[in-house]
Chain A
């Protein structure tokens, strides 16, 4: 088989892990809390820029940024959800408000870091150029790490949902929040914690993006075309689904780029979204039927 194609598939697989981490946050809040939180894109972006800042200004190893980004993301997510609960927003309002937050953060990011491309220099970021070979295929360490994190999240969420009280509470809320409440589940608390988790995941994605990509504020717009196909294909609220869908989208985009050039990738991912909507709107990895 084609060397270049094999490489594209492997690279696409790994970056699919990153796509999964980027998407799992918004998928969780959408699937469980029924809120489409567009601010997640800002959290990914901020996670990336905070990593950039910690590395270039303070000499931190990029991965150490996780120590700041994860709790920071968690806290932010909790605050957001508390705000939504207190203001008693309905679906429409949450969509607009999260859109407003996204726009504001976009502007703040541009003001602080300008529109110039920023990249963590190779001297500060050893992950950037780290790679090893399996046969003739190059495996870049940075996306590989992201992939591992995606797997960890998928496994972790599965265990969380399946084996813990919290997980059972979440599943009850997905089914019927009113009844969950009637059974004594503190829906608010679960929602806040879940929102924190989701945001932490999104911010984590940002850390990995910073390790091997050039950053510019407008890059978050490019993510819409990746995250939504992953979320729909993977099924709302499913971390495992996000991983699977991320891989599919990653490979498809990678192969498309190799065959037809970089700009075809977004067209391909969009077609995946449309295809998912047409043929399997509940996602590839969920067991429900579509009625």
Chain B
């Protein structure tokens, strides 16, 4: 059963084809790893699926709706959420308020009073309870990334797109983040993770999707895919990390 099926997604920026006819199928309740060398279109795909960029062509079926025809807030209402690689919290609000706001406008609309009460549970889930009422500039990068998660989760999504959650974290923080991702997965949320740490992605994902220059060059079981010659070729010459 697919949570999301995308066909023929095309996105141009001026003369550059960031996405050149991408097909993507995300199985419900599973984790899809999205990898590829720099500039392959991973972030663009996330942005298109979540409505931040309008696509030029294509169709994305998500719970019966075509996501490419919806505005970002409607996509959120349909149950799709995303995090940002470089965290973008609301700086004029506290972490708790960030989460409460998210909950208010998420998949199921809630009142302000309910949101205030409920925010605590996501802060606890992401270990942010103690820093929940501090000004945002006092949170570490790791905490901000978890806030991204808390905020996305508060919209009660069925599908969550994680854009390089591990980037910029030290090994301990990476371990904690991996555990957090697994906890989210255990809640039944379908996940798409974009990561450069290939070893992590291969370990977490049930399916791997490899992009190169806007095209899908491989798709399948992580162990199998990473050994494919096209994939190795795509990565040759570009820097990538083994975790």
Contact = CB atoms under 8 A, between A and B. Distances in A.
A and B touch in the complex (CB under 8 A): yes
Interface of A: 288-289, 291
Interface of B: 13-14, 53-54
A43 B62 CA distance: 56
Contacts of B53: 291
A291 B14 CA distance: 8
A289 B15 CA distance: 9
Nearest to A288: B14
A289 B13 CA distance: 8
Nearest to B54: A291
Contacts of A288: 14
Contacts of A291: 13, 53-54
Contacts of A289: 13-14
A53 to B, nearest CB: 48
B214 to A, nearest CB: 16
B228 to A, nearest CB: 34
- The list of the 4 closest CB pairs from A to B, nearest first, reads A289-B14, A291-B13, A288-B14, A291-B53
A150 B13 CA distance: 33
A239 B54 CA distance: 31
A288 B14 CA distance: 7
6 contacts: A288-B14, A289-B13, A289-B14, A291-B13, A291-B53, A291-B54
Contacts of B14: 288-289
A288 B13 CA distance: 10
Nearest to B11: A291
Contacts of B54: 291
A156 to B, nearest CB: 28
A176 to B, nearest CB: 15
B41 to A, nearest CB: 15
A18 B234 CA distance: 55
A291 B12 CA distance: 9
A288 B15 CA distance: 10
Nearest to B15: A289
A235 to B, nearest CB: 15
A78 B54 CA distance: 41
A1 to B, nearest CB: 41
A289 B53 CA distance: 14
A289 B14 CA distance: 6
A288 B16 CA distance: 12
Nearest to B14: A289
A289 B11 CA distance: 13
B217 to A, nearest CB: 26
B26 to A, nearest CB: 26
